[in-house]
Copies of this chain bind each other. A is one copy, B any other.
């Protein structure tokens, strides 16, 4: 089982946006340049975070993405499930009800015990990721990180407009 490659992209992009000043935004192009990612595909993935209520998108010449909520209110689970959906990696196709050993339907009113144990494991995975917020991640970064991120990420906007060649 594999999560999409873009899971790493969005975890990092959300962490970077969490380091901007309040109301500041970064565009998909800036985020793509910051991590050397394919901009059109990243833009599509960022929209998934908007639909999930993790990011807000603003339009206009200064438009871009910012967090839709406080970092403490955004969990890694919300980001990961915005990319990959909430379903369990284990799919129960009820093979207990097929073949020579098929159980009668009245014996299958409850979930298969194997499916239930696989669901327990998925719940443990979800609880682990739901217990980590972007505020927790920011708390683990070195003290110099946010200023560096702001400078390099939003400096790209000025570089792109031709007014300044170096990050602020």
Q: Cβ of A124 and Cβ of B128 under 8 Å apart? A: yes
Residue in B closest to A76 when the chains form the complex, CB atoms: B117
Q: Interface on chain A toward B: helix, strand, loop, or mixed SS? A: helix
Which among A11, A76, A101, A149 has the greatest number of chain B C-beta atoms within 10 A?
Answer: A101
Is A98's beta carbon under 8 Å from chain B? yes
Q: Cβ of A7 and Cβ of B90 under 8 Å apart? A: yes
Find chain B residues with CB under 8 A from A41 CB.
none
Determine which of B36, B92, B121, B124 lies in contact with A98 in the assembled complex, contact meaning CB atoms within 8 Å. Answer: B36
Determine which of B12, B102, B121 lies in contact with A129 in the assembled complex, contact meaning CB atoms within 8 Å. Answer: B121
Determine which of B16, B32, B95, B127 lies in contact with A8 in the assembled complex, contact meaning CB atoms within 8 Å. Answer: B95
Residues 17-35 (chain A) with a chain B CB within 8 angstroms: 32-35
Is A152's beta carbon under 8 Å from chain B? yes
Residue in B closest to A119 when the chains form the complex, CB atoms: B128
Is A3's beta carbon under 8 Å from chain B? yes
